[in-house]
Amino acid sequence: MDSRPVYQLADGASRPRRLRTTPAIRRLVSENRLHPADLILPMFVKEGLEEPLELTSMPGVRQHSLDSLLEHARAAVAAGVGGLMLFGIPAVRDEQGSQGDDPDGILNRALRLLRDELGDDTVIMADLCLDEFTSHGHCGVLATDGSVDNDATLDRYASLAVAQADAGAHVLGLSGMMDGQVAAVRHALDATGHQDVVVLAYAAKFASAFYGPFREAVDSQLTGDRRTYQQDAANGREALRELELDISEGADLVIVKPGMPYLDVLADAAAASSVPVWAYQISGEYAMIEFAARAGAIDRMPAILESLVGFKRAGADAVLTYWAAEVAALLSGQTADSGAEPTTED
């Protein structure tokens, strides 16, 4: 039988595989690279904890005591992460979320501790929202009919913003999705001498099933959902409207969240935005990869790196990810390569 191929590429035909022949060539032609400074680590600190507590729905992620928070923050900074995003879990909650703007509230204490200890060595960010602090678990205060009262919430956000800035946060992450929140917070900061505190707006934040493990992380009290304030998963154009509004109200940075199911929104936002655009790879995305890897279905670190470089390819300038410290350490050569082919800059 004739074993010649039926069809052969002509001389001079395009052969894209040429640029894939060796790791060195692949590295040379890589269009996007992960760098430790592009990775931001979200961290949870819980009032009254003596020892850190690992989350069952997020293996490897902990609720921290103040001591363990500082220890892990130092390690993340040593690995070169771009910043830290803090979430606080108070011992007591009420309707107004008053622990959020109490200077002795757990989040504000943690911010003060990290700023005192780490100074300006890293960028310290605070989640600015009420859901961790309210007894009902909503991101805003409630009207008498039980609905989330947008405008009454703005006053609360303004007060949280000043408390967090006073505590030393460099960046405030406005994650509540209330209309007008960026303008309200910017105004409050400027009126109190905090002109240089950065506003990071969750411009496009979608109501998502992938927040599931976060509920455990912050001991959430929520019943029901957030669909009257977070966006519908079906709507991409609406995300651009939110982006435009946030930038016009003074947002310095914007986020698209969740990450992996919304890469199209991220790409559109990156193309349209005049300020840096970040992605938040959320708790459920973390859990999916961790549990799939534990089940032997996927190779853990290559999957993590692929998910992260995907955000860069879609246009993210930086990514919030619970793997930030681990991946930053890997990229900066502090830990061994675990079989993946990371695209490092150095």
CB of 141 to ligand PBG, least distance (A): 14
Of residues 264 through 283, those in contact with ligand PBG by CB under 6 A are: 282-283
Give the x-and-dash track for 280-309 against ligand PBG (CB under 6 A).
Answer: --xx--------------------------
CB atoms within 10 A of CB 201: 29
User: Any catalytic annotation for residue 257?
Assistant: yes
CA distance 319 to 313: 12
Which of 64, 156, 170, 205 is an active site residue? 205
> In this chain, which of 129, 309, 319, 330 binds ligand PBG, going by CB under 6 A?
129
Residue 94: C-alpha distances to residues 48, 100, 130, 136 (Å): 17, 10, 10, 8
Q: Within 206-225, which residues bind ligand PBG (CB under 6 A)?
A: 211, 214
First vs last C-alpha separation in the chain: 53
Whether 338 has a binding-site annotation, put simply, is: no
Which is nearer to ligand PBG, 110 or 282 (by Cβ)?
A: 282
CA separation, residue 160 to residues 34, 107, 124, 186 (Å): 33, 10, 16, 12
Q: Quick check: 175 binds ligand PBG (CB under 6 A)? A: yes
Residues sharing a CB contact under 8 Å with residue 224, sequence separation 6 or more, in sequence order: none
- The answer to whether 242 is annotated as binding is yes
Q: Which of 38, 47, 131, 326 binds ligand PBG (CB under 6 A)?
A: 131
Amino acid (1-letter code) at residue 60? G
CB 13, min distance to ligand PBG, A: 47
CB of 263 to ligand PBG, least distance (A): 17
Any binding-site annotation on 280? no
Residue nearest to ligand PBG as judged by C-beta position: 214
Give the residue carrying structure tokens 């690992």. 54
In the complex with ligand PBG, which residue's Cβ is closer, 62 or 226?
A: 226
Which of these segments, 125-133, 144-152, 188-196, 310-318, binds ligand PBG (CB under 6 A)? 125-133
Alpha carbon distances (Å) from 241 to 220, 268, 307: 29, 11, 27
7 in a labelled binding site: no
Q: What are phi and psi of 232, to 5 degrees?
A: -80, 135
Q: How far apart are CA 259 and CA 290, in angstroms?
A: 16
DSSP designation for 329? H
To ligand PBG, the closest distance from the beta carbon of 142 in angstroms equals 16
Strands (E), the chain: 39-46, 53-55, 58-64, 83-89, 123-128, 171-174, 198-205, 253-257, 277-280, 318-320
141 is a site residue for ligand PBG (CB under 6 A): no
Regarding 262 and contact with ligand PBG (CB under 6 A), the answer is no
Rounded Cα gap, residues 214 and 325, in angstroms: 18
- Candidates 10-18, 26-34, 127-135, 236-244: pick the segment binding ligand PBG (CB under 6 A): 127-135
Closest by CA to 269, choosing from 305, 237, 299, is 237
Give, in order, the Cα–Cα distances in Å from 34 to each of 18, 78, 81, 331, 345.
Answer: 24, 17, 11, 8, 7
Work out how close the CB of 286 gets to ligand PBG at its nearest, in angstroms, rounded to a whole number. Answer: 7
Extract the tokens encoding 239.
């995300």
312 is catalytic: no
Site string for ligand PBG, 319-338 (x = CB under 6 A): --------------------
Q: Which is nearer to ligand PBG, 57 or 192 (CB)?
A: 57
- Count the residues of the shown chain that bind ligand PBG, applying the rule CB under 6 A: 10
Q: Looking at beta carbons only, is 131 or 149 nearer to ligand PBG?
A: 131
- Closest CA relative to residue 260, chosen from 209, 302, 307: 307
Contact between 233 and 225 (Cβ < 8 Å):
no
List the catalytic residues: 205, 257
Binding site for ligand PBG (CB under 6 A): 127, 129, 131, 139, 175, 211, 214, 226, 282-283
Please report, in range form, the residues annotated as the binding site for Mg(2+): 242
